[in-house]
Amino acid sequence: MEDDETVAVLVRCCLDRQCFVLNGHFGLLVDRWKSRRKPLPLRKPMEFEESGDPERHFQELVSLAKYGVEKGKVVAIGECGLDYDRLHFCPSEMQKKYFEKQFELAEAVKLPMFLHMRAAVEDFCDIFARNRNRVIAGVAHSFTGSAEDRDKLLLFNNLFIGVNGCSLKTMENLDVVKGIPVERMMIETDSPYCEIKNTHAGINFVKSVWPSKKKEKYDDECTVKGRNEPCFVRQVLEVVAGCKEIADVNQLSKTLYHNTCRVFFPHDLDSVADALLSSSRQCNIP
């Protein structure tokens, strides 16, 4: 865990929001090396209706995505999916209607999808099954579902499962994660949220810690107390390795890195790896 190679690999195997924070942005965690790749912002289902012309709104999204792809800034469509724990924000029927539409968007620009599924596995899988051939691949991030939910998602060979601190709260959660094949997994922090807390079952596997200070005493050499940070992806890796009883953490990180790059950076896997390793040495990462 101490060598530069492991750290560099960890940086790219994480799907994270810290680089492009807030309002539905997501991105691969490369902010420590000042990456300029940015994904397409989340467009909530309500925005289609509120636009007054859903089809025009859709075409504007297509144009925006294509422009981003041409500039090398957009790597996926997302975050989109179904969340039935938050129906007060958007009713389920509207969520389902525009979840289908978002597959059309992904197909139009030939991009993978960054997905969200909470308390909605049946409808999510029904819609994904109908549209699976329209999307290159996707990841259902921040997975907190049951073993049954996990197994349903794994039936789709172009769908990965993303794990963060919210996926590692209970012993039941750890058992679910243990059953996700590493070849179908990605890890993330979802910072500034979803940190691994001392009350979580996964904390017993955490080895890496960093000094922290309150935000009022901000220090570049410390994390912000009470806030999930990008570097904490290493803790997620440690918990995954621990609950799956994987001794070679370095190899696990490489597998997760490869999964992420296969989906979101298929054209520059080798060159990006070389660049990150070079950057990590220049930055003298511990």
Give the pLDDT score at 274.
53
Alpha-carbon distance 246 to 244, whole Å? 6
**Is residue 20 scored above 50 in pLDDT?**
no
> Among the ranges 69-83, 163-177, 216-230, which has the highest mean pLDDT value?
163-177
**Is residue 159 scored above 50 in pLDDT?**
yes
Domain coordinates in residue numbering, the chain: 4-282
Rg of the chain (C-alpha set): 18
**Element (H or E) spanning 121, and its range?**
helix 121-131
The bridge status of strand 185-188 relative to strand 14-16 is parallel
**Is residue 189 scored above 80 in pLDDT?**
yes
Block residue for tokens 């422009």: 67
Work out whether the CA dihedral 151, 236, 44, 36 comes out positive or negative: negative
pTM over 0.85: no
Return the CATH fold of 4-282: TIM Barrel (3.20.20)
**Is residue 2 scored above 50 in pLDDT?**
no
Confidence of residue 78 (pLDDT cuts 50, 70, 90): confident
Residue 110 identity: K
The pLDDT > 70 percentage for the chain reads 78
3-state secondary structure of 259: helix
Block residue for tokens 């490489």: 254
Alpha-carbon distance 168 to 43, whole Å? 28
Q: What is the mean pLDDT of the chain?
A: 81
Cβ neighbors of 154 (< 8 A, separation 6 or more) are: 161, 180, 181, 184
